[in-house]
Structure 1
Amino acid sequence: MMRFLQKLGRSMLIPIVALPAAGILFRISSEDLLDWKLFQASGAIFNNIDILIAIGIAMGLSKTKDRGIPALTGFIAISILKEGLNILDSDLNMSVFGGLISGLLAAWVYNKFKDVELPKVFSFFSGENFPITMIILLMLPVTGISFLVWPYAQSSIDWLAQSLVTLGGLGVFINGFLNRFLLPFGLHHVLNTYIYFGLGDFKTSGGEVVHGEVTRFLNGDPTAGYFLSGYFVSIMFGVPAIALAISKAAKYNKQNTKALMGSGSFTAIVAGITEPIEFTFLFTSPFLYFIHSVYTGLAGMTLYYLHIREGFSWGGSIIDYVLNLGLSDKGWMIIPVGIGFFILYFVTFYFYIINRNVPIIGQIEESNFDEEKSDEEKDLSLTHNQYRYMSKKILENIGTKDNVIEYENCITRLRLELRDTSLINKDKIMQTGAHGVVIIDKHNAQIIIGPEVTKLVKEFNKEIENT
C-alpha cells in the first residue's frame, strides 16, 4: 500500500505542475483586476482538472516506459465518464473524484491488457492498443453506476447546506470542514453554490432583493460574510504553513520540493487557489487532509465567535482581502488570527510528517533506478534467442515469483522491484547470457540484456503468470 501511495503521489505531481502559473494568470486577468480576457483562457486548467488528474494517474501507474498510450487511455476514461453523466443528467459532476477513479481504472486496464494478442485479422487492436478498446467497454457501466449513486450524495449535501445557517458557529465550522473535505469528491461545489449564492436574503438600498453570502456581502448586508471569513485564514496562512512544513521536513529532493511549495504558496496567497499544495498530499495522506479540513472549519468558527466578518467576490486571496476590507467588520484581525493558525498548521504538519512515513514530495527518495545507459548498451546483443528459457532461469535466480513486486523494461534493461535483492544469484543470471546485473538497493535491481529485452519481458511475463 505504501509503494502504491508513493507512486500515486508522484503521479499527482504531473498535473500539479500546471496549476500555479494558471491560477495566478487567471486571477490577475479577471474582470475586477486587469480584465485581460484572453488570459482568462488559463482557467481551462481548472475547468479540466479532472482530465489532468486522470491522465496523470494513468501515466504514473502504468507499467511501461512509453506513457503515451496510458495517457490516451486515461483521457478516454474520464471523457466517457463526463460525457455519459452529462447525457444522463447534466447537473451531475464528479469533478476530481471522477478523475481519480478514471485514472486508476485506466492504469489497471492498461497493465492488465497491454500484452493481449488477438487473431491476426484483429492484430492492429492487439498489444498496447487493446487497453483502448477495453477502457471504453469498462467505463460505460462505471458511468451507469455513478449516475445511480452520485445524485444521493449531491442531494444530501444540498440538504445539509440549507440547514447550516440555523447552527451558528457550529454551522460555520461544518461549512468550512465540508468545503475542504468534499473537494476530492467534487461535492464541495454543491455546498458552495448554495452558501455563496442562495443562503439568506437582503434588500438593497435600491429595493432589489439579493441572495447568498457573496452577493449579500458585496451589497452591504451587515450579517453576511461569516461563512466566508475563515477561508482567508485557511488560504492565506494555513496553506502556506503546510507548504513550509513540507519543505522543512523534506529529506530528499529539497530544492525541487522548495520550488514547488514556494510557487504553490504564492498561488494560494495571490490567487486564492490551493490545489497546487493540497493535491501533493490529498490522496497520499488522507489523515493530513482531514486535519486541514478540520482547521479550515475551526478558522471560520473562531472568526465567527470573535465577530470578525470579511467576504470576497472570487476567493479568499490577499487581493480579495484588501479590496473588500472596507466592507468588513474587524477585518484587520484576520491577520493575527491567521498568524496563530499558521503556527498551528505548521507544527501539526511538520511533526506528523517527520514522525510518520508520509509518502509525499520530499519524503520519497528518487533513486537512480530510472537511469539508462542506452548509448553504451544499444549495441549489445544476446548470443541466443532462447527468451523463454532465459526468463525462466532469471525468475528462478531472483528468488522466484514470490520475491517479485514489480517489473518493467527500458531500452536495454529488465528493471526489477523485489522484496529482497539479496536473493539474487548474479553468477547464475550471467550464465543465461545477460550482460550485467546491477543491484541498486535492497529492493531495486536491473539486469542488462540489450535491445532484445522487450522480447524477454514478454516471456518473463508469461512465466510470472504461469508459475
Structure 2
Amino acid sequence: MKHFLQKLGKSMLIPIAALPAAGLLLRLSAEDMLNIPLFQASGVILNNMDILIAIGIAMGLAKTKDKGIPALTGYLAISVLNEGLGILNQDLDMSVFGGVIAGLMAAYIYNQFQHTRLPSMFAFFGGEKFPITMIILVMIPIAGLFSVVWPYAQAGIDAFSQMLVGMGAFGIFVFGFFNRFLLPFGLHHVMNTYVYFGLGRFETASGQAITGEITRFLNGDPHAGYFLGGFFITMMFGIPAIALAISRAARTKKKETKALMSSGAATSFITGITEPIEFTFLFTSPLLYVLHSVYTGLAGMTLYLLGIRHGFSWGAGVIDYVLNLNLSDRGLLVIPVGLAFFILYYATFYFIITKRNVPVVGREQGAASLQENGGGTAEKHSKYQTIAADILQHIGGKENVMSCENCMTRLRLRLADNSLADEAKLKRAGAHGVIKIGRHDIQIVVGPDAANVKRELQTLIERESY
C-alpha cells in the first residue's frame, strides 16, 4: 500500500507540469493585464484536469518504459466515463475523482492485458494494443455503475467540502499543517489534488461549472483562494527565514552553508519549491519540521481571519503573487503579514538550532552540500553525471535498481534491497534527504535538478547493462 500510494502521488505530479505555462499565460493575457484573447486558450488546461490526471496516473502506474499506449488508454478511459455519465445523467460531474478512477482502471487494464496474444488474423490488435480495446469495453459498464453510485459519493464529498469550508480558519489551518506534514512521505499531492482541483463549485459567466481552489480562483470566484494564500507566507518568507537562521547558526563551512541556503531560499521565493531547504532539517530535527508545519497552517489561518484572499496557478512564489494580485482581496497585506512570520520563523528556528545544538548544515562535521559535490570526480563529467554516479554507487549499484523515476525534487527508486542504500554517503554525495519506505522504495531528495540527475542515472544504468 505504501508503494502504491507513493506511485499514485508521483503520478499525479505528471499533469502538474502543464500548470506553470497554462497559469502564467492565462493571467498575462487576461483583460486586466495584456488582454490577448487568443492566449486565454491556455485555460483549457485548468478546465480539463480530470483528463490530465487520468493520463498521468495511467502513465505513472503502467509497468512499461514506453508510456505512449498507457497515456492513450487513460485518455480513452476518462472520455468513455464522462460520455457515459453524460448520457445517463447530465447533472453528474465526477471532476478530478473521475480522472483518478479512469487513470487507475487504465493502468490496471494495461498491466493485465499488455501481453495478450490473439489469433493471427487479429494479431494487430494484440499485445500492448489490446488494452485500448479492453478499456473501452470495461469503462462502459463502469460508467453505468458510477451513474448509480456517484450521487451518493458526491453527497458525501459535498458534505466533507462544506465541513472543511465551514470550519473556517481551523479548516484552513488543518489543510496547511497536513500539506507540510505529509510532504516527507510524498502523500501531500493526494490531498492537494482534491483541494486544488475538486474543492467547491463555481459557475462562470458562460455557465460552465468548475471545481477546485486553483481553478475557481483563476476564474474569478470571490470565495476561492483562502486555502491557497497562506503558502505565499511560507514560500516567500518562512523558508528564506529558515535559510537565514541556518546560515547564521553555522559554525563550520560558513561560506558553503550560506551559498546552499541562499540558493534554496531563492528557489522557494521565486518558484515555491521548498524541499531543498526543508530536507536539511527534516531528519535532524523533527521538532523543527512539526513547528514548520504548524506555522504553515497558522499562516493560512491568519490570512483568513484578516480577510486576505490570494491564490496561485502552480506555486506560491513571487511570480504568482504579482501576477494574481488583481484577483486577490487585500493581497498587498500578504507582505506585512509575511514579514511578521519571517521574524517568527527566524527567531524560533535560530533559538532551537543553537540552544538544542541541532546538527543542521554547517553544524555537522563531514556534511557536504550539493555545490561541493557538483564539480565531479573527473572534469569531463557534468555535475549531474557525477551526482548520478555517486548515487548509483551508494544504493548498491545498477543490479539493485528495479525502477527509477523522479518528481520535481526527488528521485523515486524501487530497489531490490533498501538496506544496501547508505544514507550517510548519499547525503555526502549531494542528497538533501533520504527516505526509505518499506523494504524496496526509497526517495532521494536532490532539489529542482531531480529530472537532470534522474536522466543521467538512467543513462548509467542502461549503459552498464550492455
TM-score, structure 1 length as denominator? 0.50
Q: Using the alignment, how far apart are the partners of 2:160 and 2:312 within structure 1?
A: 23
Q: CA deviation at 1:98?
A: 2.8
Q: CA deviation at 1:23?
A: 1.4
SS at match of 2:115: coil
Match among 308, 314, 319 for residue 310 of structure 1: 308
SS at match of 2:84: helix
Q: CA deviation at 1:42?
A: 1.4
User: Structure 1 residues 239 and 191, CA, compared in 2 at 3 Å: closer, same or farther?
Assistant: farther
Deviations 1:228-249 (A, max 9, x none): 5564222x1235679889999x
Match among 333, 337, 340 for residue 334 of structure 1: 337
User: Structure 1 residues 105 and 260, CA, compared in 2 at 3 Å: closer, same or farther?
Assistant: farther
Q: CA deviation at 1:72?
A: 0.9
Q: Using the alignment, how far apart are the partners of 1:260 and 1:94 within structure 2?
A: 38
Whether the 8 Å CA contact 1:115–1:128 is kept in 2: the answer is yes
- Equivalence for 2:258: none
Q: CA deviation at 1:111?
A: 1.8
SS at match of 2:44: helix
Q: CA deviation at 1:113?
A: 0.8
User: When the two structures are aligned, how many residues end up with a matched partner?
Assistant: 323
Root-mean-square deviation (CA, aligned residues, Å) is 5.9
- Equivalence for 2:66: 66
Q: Which AA in structure 2 matches 1:42?
A: S
- Equivalence for 1:75: 75
Whether the 8 Å CA contact 1:15–1:56 is kept in 2: the answer is yes
User: Structure 1 residues 51 and 121, CA, compared in 2 at 3 Å: closer, same or farther?
Assistant: same
Q: CA deviation at 1:301?
A: 3.2
Q: CA deviation at 1:25?
A: 1.4
Q: CA deviation at 1:34?
A: 1.9
- Equivalence for 1:37: 37
SS at match of 1:31: coil
Q: Using the alignment, how far apart are the partners of 1:192 and 1:58 within structure 2?
A: 26
- 1:238 is the counterpart of 2:234: yes
- Equivalence for 2:132: 132
Deviations 1:203-245 (A, max 9, x none): xxxxxxxxx9999998xxxxxx8x85564222x1235679889
- Equivalence for 1:114: 114
Q: Which AA in structure 2 matches 1:309?
A: G
User: Structure 1 residues 97 and 366, CA, compared in 2 at 3 Å: closer, same or farther?
Assistant: farther
Deviations 1:359-414 (A, max 9, x none): xxx9xx967999xxxxxxxxxxxxxxxxxxxxxxxxxxxx9xxx99789xxxxxxx
Q: Which AA in structure 2 matches 1:310?
A: I
Q: Using the alignment, how far apart are the partners of 2:138 and 2:291 within structure 1?
A: 35
Q: CA deviation at 1:116?
A: 0.9
Q: Using the alignment, how far apart are the partners of 1:49 and 1:213 within structure 2?
A: 15
Q: CA deviation at 1:267?
A: 5.9
Which moves more between the two structures, 8-17 or 174-183? Answer: 174-183
Which moves more between the two structures, 3-12 or 321-330? Answer: 321-330
Deviations 1:407-462 (A, max 9, x none): 9xxxxxxxx9745999xxxxxxxxxxxxxxxxx99xx899968xxxxxxxxxxxxx
- Equivalence for 1:154: 154
Whether the 8 Å CA contact 2:172–2:301 is kept in 1: the answer is no
Query: Which structure has the larger Rg?
Result: 1
Q: CA deviation at 1:112?
A: 1.4
Q: CA deviation at 1:132?
A: 0.8
| 1:7-406 pair list within 5 angstroms | 7-8=7-8, 11-159=11-159, 170-174=167-171, 177=174, 183-185=192-194, 189=198, 191=200, 193=202, 231-234=228-231, 236-239=232-235, 266=270, 298-303=298-303, 308-311=306-309, 318-319=321-322, 323=326, 333-339=336-342
Q: CA deviation at 1:178?
A: 6.2
User: Structure 1 residues 155 and 4, CA, compared in 2 at 3 Å: closer, same or farther?
Assistant: closer
Q: Which AA in structure 2 matches 1:336?
A: L
Whether the 8 Å CA contact 1:309–1:330 is kept in 2: the answer is no
Q: Using the alignment, how far apart are the partners of 2:67 and 2:266 within structure 1?
A: 28
Q: Which AA in structure 2 matches 1:104?
A: L
User: Structure 1 residues 45 and 52, CA, compared in 2 at 3 Å: closer, same or farther?
Assistant: same
Identity in percent:
42
Q: Using the alignment, how far apart are the partners of 2:21 and 2:220 within structure 1?
A: 31
User: Structure 1 residues 69 and 230, CA, compared in 2 at 3 Å: closer, same or farther?
Assistant: closer
Whether the 8 Å CA contact 1:54–1:78 is kept in 2: the answer is yes
User: Structure 1 residues 16 and 303, CA, compared in 2 at 3 Å: closer, same or farther?
Assistant: closer
- Equivalence for 1:357: none
SS at match of 2:128: helix
Q: Using the alignment, how far apart are the partners of 1:332 and 1:447 within structure 2?
A: 52
Q: CA deviation at 1:3?
A: 5.0
Whether the 8 Å CA contact 1:15–1:52 is kept in 2: the answer is yes
Q: CA deviation at 1:189?
A: 4.6
Q: Which AA in structure 1 matches 2:70?
A: P
Whether the 8 Å CA contact 1:70–1:107 is kept in 2: the answer is yes
User: Structure 1 residues 92 and 366, CA, compared in 2 at 3 Å: closer, same or farther?
Assistant: farther
- Equivalence for 1:273: none
Q: Which AA in structure 2 matches 1:127?
A: G
Which moves more between the two structures, 315-324 or 75-84? Answer: 315-324
Q: CA deviation at 1:127?
A: 1.0
SS at match of 1:128: coil
SS at match of 2:200: helix
SS at match of 1:141: helix
Whether the 8 Å CA contact 1:59–1:107 is kept in 2: the answer is yes
Q: Using the alignment, how far apart are the partners of 1:245 and 1:140 within structure 2?
A: 53
Q: CA deviation at 1:172?
A: 2.9
Q: CA deviation at 1:266?
A: 4.1
Whether the 8 Å CA contact 2:169–2:304 is kept in 1: the answer is yes
Q: CA deviation at 1:120?
A: 2.4
Whether the 8 Å CA contact 1:176–1:293 is kept in 2: the answer is no
Q: CA deviation at 1:143?
A: 2.8
Q: Using the alignment, how far apart are the partners of 2:46 and 2:107 within structure 1?
A: 23
Q: CA deviation at 1:76?
A: 0.9
Q: CA deviation at 1:12?
A: 4.3
Q: Using the alignment, how far apart are the partners of 2:337 and 2:171 within structure 1?
A: 20
Q: Using the alignment, how far apart are the partners of 1:109 and 1:242 within structure 2?
A: 44
- Equivalence for 1:453: none
- Equivalence for 2:441: none
Q: Which AA in structure 2 matches 1:71?
A: A
Q: CA deviation at 1:2?
A: 5.4
